[in-house]
Amino acid sequence: DIQMTQSPSTLSASVGDRVTITCRASQSISSWLAWYQQKPGKAPKLLIYKASSLESGVPSRFSGSGSGTEFTLTISSLQPDDFATYYCQQYNSYPFFGGGTKVEIK
């Protein structure tokens, strides 16, 4: 099975900061990677698909990049609404998720 590893597990940042989260796959998944945002007590929300395509309605401060085994989610200027946990999900083989990265207030 393909393992998905996110780093860091927790990230402390301030409003306005540029934030980058990394997701690594144990083997190549081409560009078959999605990113989700989850707030406490809520279902995940799809942000990015196919590594870099922005889901409709998602603010342009979110962007994704990468291919093969290394991917990043970048928030260009962190907003109060962005404090949440972020998950990557590969869909090259099975729809498996990474362990999550919590973005908390610094």
Partner 1 sequence: QVQLQESGPGLVKPSETLSLTCAVSGYSISSGYYWGWIRQPPGKGLEWIGSIYHSGSTYYNPSLKSRVTISVDTSKNQFSLKLSSVTAADTAVYYCARLLIVVVPAATVPVGTFDYWGQGTLVTVSS
Site map 73..102 versus partner 1, x via CB under 8 A:
--------------x-x-xxxxxxxxxx--
40 is an interface residue for partner 1 by CB under 8 A = no
Site map 14..33 versus partner 1, x via CB under 8 A:
----------------x-x-
CA distance 52 to 32: 10
Q: 13 vs 46, which CB is nearer to partner 1?
A: 46
Contact 76, 64 (CB under 8 A): no
